[in-house]
A = this chain, B = another copy of it.
């Protein structure tokens, strides 16, 4: 790995608890990530089936920085292809979303079917026997670059790598189970938006896995004395430590009876709110899980905060910028009351989220605070130096260490 920029960084000999700041800023490290990590043996989230329901429906997105097309083919299957014409590299799909019976490149009308096969080259036979492609031109060699695809509960994942394990094995049982729990029913897309952040994408992914900061950086609930039901919770990790869930569960106690009902929780807490209906919620899951933040490698997040359900995809946009895409969801059979509660709870998250807006800015502060010392390292030792599940969420950075375990393994450093 001598010519690997990532390997040149000041990694400790082993372990995942000291991260050199250079990995957040170095352009060569960033370029290596595009190849080894985003095109490595991982499954990248690229969109929802709801967004492409009809044959020919497509949306464009990115895997790392590589533009891709997500389209439903004539068999009703989902295809994911690199959005680059085989002729001279033009984007085949320009619009963010649309419907097409074939994928036609506007530059010279090379036409691809919905599986990415090249079906026609304009003037390929020339005009009046003059010009055209050489006789040995083989259209089969010039289809769009098609990726492996798997879907789960409407989530579409794709990978560049033949070495990637099947999605179920890649995620592992616990991760799979949480997706079942949160999304395993008829979901409805309630809203989408994007948030641009002035920091390396990994700083956001650490933040997502960082249960340590939640009760500290975000002062909204403390300020309004929103004392939720007494909780237990902790961190669950996939066996390889790459993926994580941090969760809280309402304990059985005297408030249980009330919360146990499916009706909206009348808010005794949050009494400092002028309008406490803002935080009204109901027990949506029998398990009593009130909060579950899940991240799957490398840059996908599934959020359940009370009844606020959302997906997040963190796209790298250069070494020092990233963009966070949001999909806010509800259940298709929400009552009007439940739907209204979800909408109100949506005020907690996103770029204007009363609870979480700080997550949009803190990464930029770390970027500015640390970029001038690429050889110094963070210390990620809250809760020890290992990578193992725990029943304590607040006093541990274990799932961040899990992220770096995956990073060192994938980047080969």
Contact = CB atoms under 8 A, between A and B. Distances in A.
A86 B395 contact: no
A127 B395 contact: yes
A53 interface: no
Interface stretch (A249-257, A277-285, A305-313, A385-393): A385-393
Contact of A382 (B128, B132, B217, B372): B132
Given A108-B212, A137-B381, A217-B108, A370 B89 contact: yes
A360 to B, nearest CB: 13
A216 interface: yes
A106 B207 CA distance: 13
Given A89-B370, A131-B395, A137-B381, 16 more contacts: A64-B372, A67-B368, A87-B378, A90-B366, A91-B366, A91-B369, A94-B365, A106-B217, A106-B362, A107-B216, A107-B362, A108-B212, A126-B392, A126-B395, A131-B382, A132-B383
Chain A interface mostly: loop
Given A108-B213, A216-B109, A368-B67, A87 B379 contact: yes
A89 B24 CA distance: 11
A141 B381 CA distance: 14
18 contacts: A84-B370, A84-B373, A88-B206, A88-B378, A91-B365, A91-B369, A107-B216, A108-B217, A123-B394, A126-B392, A127-B394, A127-B395, A130-B391, A130-B392, A131-B382, A131-B383, A132-B383, A134-B384
B216 A365 contact: no
Nearest to A27: B27
A397 to B, nearest CB: 9
A107 B84 CA distance: 41
Complex A-B, nearest 7 residue pairs according to Cβ-Cβ distance, in ascending order: A131-B395, A89-B370, A130-B392, A123-B395, A84-B369, A131-B383, A91-B369
Interface string A98-119: 0000000011110000000000
Contact of A368 (B91, B212, B395): B91
B366 A89 contact: yes
A66 B380 CA distance: 23
Interface string A2-28: 000000000000000000010000000
Contacts of A216: 106-109, 122
Interface in A31-88: 34, 64-67, 82-88
Contacts of A212: 108, 122-123
Q: How many copies of this kind of chain does the complex include?
A: 3
A127 B134 CA distance: 72
- Tell which of A64, A370, A376 has the most Cβ of chain B within 10 Å: A370
Contacts of A91: 365-366, 368-369
Given A106-B362, A130-B395, A217-B108, A123 B372 contact: no
Contacts of A381: 133-134, 137
Interface string A199-230: 00000001000001100110000000000000
A142 interface: yes
Given A394-B127, A395-B130, A379 B90 contact: no
Contacts of A142: 379
Given A21-B89, A131-B394, A372-B66, A123 B382 contact: yes
Interface in A118-152: 122-123, 126-128, 130-134, 137, 142
A391 B396 CA distance: 68
Nearest to A396: B131
A379 B370 CA distance: 38
